[in-house]
Amino acid sequence: MQRIYSEVPRYLEGETVIVIGGGPSLVDFDFDTLGGFNMIGANDAGLLTKAQTVITLDRNYYRNRLKEMTKKAREGRMVYAALPADLPPDTKFPDEIVQLQFKRGRGLAQNPKMIYGLNSGFAALNVAYLSGAKDIRLIGFDFKFNPDQPHWHKEYSWYTQKNDRQIQRWAKDFELTLPQLEAAGARVTNYVGPEGSAITAYKTRPLEDVTK
């Protein structure tokens, strides 16, 4: 049976949105300062903050965090799972989880039923783009491998990253989004900590300026 996918509505048309990643620059960050902003969080960066929208494209994350994702959805969050079309046919999807199709495309998916990318941070940016946001502010998008502190939150038990070669490749992929963002009239700014970010596609500003 062919799987039926939902789509990302243009619920942030012309709005400002903060997209939250998992980079260690957010250790000790006061997320309460983001109150009043639209927020989209990738993986635990969504579940552990007050982000109104949570997105994952990681099947391991979905498998391990399904209970928590479902709970947040029942509390009124928008929770997206962008998962491959070749999942086993008996894979169960709770009604509360919004299913999108994941594809290993390049750049940003323009079909609102589909998400491109190789990591959930990119997927969160894709959701912001599809939602119609015009001022997209990234935080926690370090994309630098730190073996002592890979993320700002507690580590994933299944996380196996050993070096930054893959992460550097992911950082490079953001450059493919530039013509699409320009055509949509959307601006992306990466708000970074003292160590900066490996993503060079977007202008950067200090993390403490994200709400200004």
pLDDT digits (tens, 9 = 90+) for 53-84: 999 998 889 989 999 999 999 999 999 999 88
Residues 6+ apart with CB under 8 A from 193: 23, 24, 25, 26, 142, 207
**Amino acid 164: pLDDT:** 76
Rounded to an integer, what distance in angstroms lies between the CA atom of residue 188 and that of residue 169?
19
- Where do we find the tokens 């002592």? 148
Residue 3 lies in a domain: no
Cα 120 to Cα 14, 36, 40, 182: the distances in Å are 23, 23, 11, 22
Q: What gap in Å lies between CA 24 and CA 29, rounded to an integer?
A: 10
Is 139 part of any domain?
yes
Residue 2: inside a domain: no
pLDDT of res. 2:
65
Q: Kindly report the CA angle at 140 between 149 and 74, in degrees rounded to 5?
A: 100
Number of H helices, E strands in the chain: 5, 9
Asked if the model's pLDDT at residue 1 lies above 60, the reply is no
- 11 within some domain: no
Query: 112: domain range?
Result: 16-209
How many domains in the chain? 1
Mean pLDDT for the chain?
91
* 56, part of any domain: yes
Supply the pLDDT for residue 162: 56
CB-based contact 138:39 (threshold 8 Å):
no
The verdict on residue 124 lying in a domain is: yes
DSSP code at position 71: H
Number of other residues whose CB lies within 10 A of the CB of residue 43: 27
Residue 103 token pair: 């594809």
Domain for residue 6, yes or no? no
Does 99 map to a domain?
Answer: yes
